[in-house]
Amino acid sequence: MNREVTLPLIVDDRGTLQVAAADVSKLLRTVGGRWLRLVESGRDDLDEDTVAALTIELAKLADRIDVACIAHSSGTTP
């Protein structure tokens, strides 16, 4: 199963690439979830412990992005 994931990319007037943080954190969680479903479906070429560890790390990164955005929008520092 090969599925393509896309993110909306926006370039500002200075040429700086902009991606919504919510899209990035959602992507990280989605990737981890898909890996877990592959393991649960019996894919024997994936190590369950490795997938679990990577999924946890992706979720932690997504959480850090979310916290940083919340702190930024509320004017505080995380």
Closest CA to 27 of 43, 47, 5: 5
Supply φ then ψ for residue 12, to 5 degrees: -80, 180
Residue 19 and residue 9 in contact, taking contact as beta carbons nearer than 8 Å: yes
pLDDT of 4 = 58
Confidence at 40, pLDDT banded by 50, 70, 90: very high
What is the pTM (predicted TM-score) of this model? 0.72
Confidence at 33, pLDDT banded by 50, 70, 90: very high
pLDDT of 7 = 54
Least confident of 8-17, 29-38, 39-48: 8-17
The 3-class SS string of 4-35 reads CCCCCCEECCCCCEECCHHHHHHHHHHHHHHH
pLDDT of 38 = 94
